[in-house]
Chains A and B, each alone.
Chain A
Amino acid sequence: GPKVLQIPSHQIIDMGQMVTLNCDPVSNHLYFYWYKQILGQQMEFLVNFYNGKVMEKSKLFKDQFSVERPDGSYFTLKIQPTALEDSAVYFCASSWGRITGQLYFGEGSKLTVL
């Protein structure tokens, strides 16, 4: 079935550094999402993105976070600077249309901030 690819699968960085998480969504999908899951906790919505713009974001989407998808390439989540509380698994998801259908999730990027 359709797959969402995420790179890297794991990343360890020092607090204060910048990190970029990359997502290759399903090819004909138009809507893109990032979710954050701290170990042992629920998955929480960060942001959704459509037509080159952030449509909605949650309180978790701090000023240090940004997303973009330049020229149909990777959909990226950038954190600059990182903080200890940013350690989590970040899931990218995509969907073809507005949410009446399903989200397709990637396998996650585990971020460890030291």
Chain B
Amino acid sequence: GDSVTQTEGLVTLTEGLPVMLNCTYQSTYSPFLFWYVQHLNEAPKLLLKSFTDNKRPEHQGFHATLHKSSSSFHLQKSSAQLSDSALYYCALSDPGNNRIFFGDGTQLVVKP
């Protein structure tokens, strides 16, 4: 079955340092991968989505590369900002069904 694994529950780092949030997945088909971000008391919002043509999606300084060989879609940013503090969900959609599978989420805390 489909599943998404985010190994880190909490990532704490200092402003200006690089960010990398891990995401690996299992899927029967060739899925689409997403990163959603949820700021405190707000709705989850789409941050990035994988492309079918293997382009690297980028938004707000974040990027992620879909590696089918390792079934990964790690989220990266070169320099963390205080405003990046939020809950980040990696998610997967499978063309074989109509459900998005969310990982457990990674809480990112950026400190001054």
Tally of contacts, chain A with chain B, CB under 8 A = 55
A74 CB–B CB distance under 8 Å? no
| Residue in A31, A48, A102, A108 whose CB lies within 8 Å of B43 | A108
A42 CB–B CB distance under 8 Å? yes
Q: Contact between B42 and A99 (Cβ–Cβ < 8 Å)?
A: no
Q: List 12 A-B contacts (CB under 8 A).
A: A31-B98, A35-B102, A42-B102, A43-B105, A44-B102, A48-B99, A55-B98, A99-B93, A99-B99, A100-B93, A100-B95, A106-B43
Given contacts A100-B32, A100-B93, A105-B43, contact A56 B49 (CB under 8 A): no
Query: How close is B67's CB to chain A, nearest CB, in angstroms?
Result: 20
Please, how many residues of chain A have a CB less than 8 angstroms from a CB on the other chain?
23
Contacts of A55 in B (CB 8 A): 98
B25 CB–A CB distance under 8 Å? no
Q: Contact between B98 and A91 (Cβ–Cβ < 8 Å)?
A: no
Contacts of B93 in A (CB 8 A): 99-100
B62 CB–A CB distance under 8 Å? no
B73 CB–A CB distance under 8 Å? no
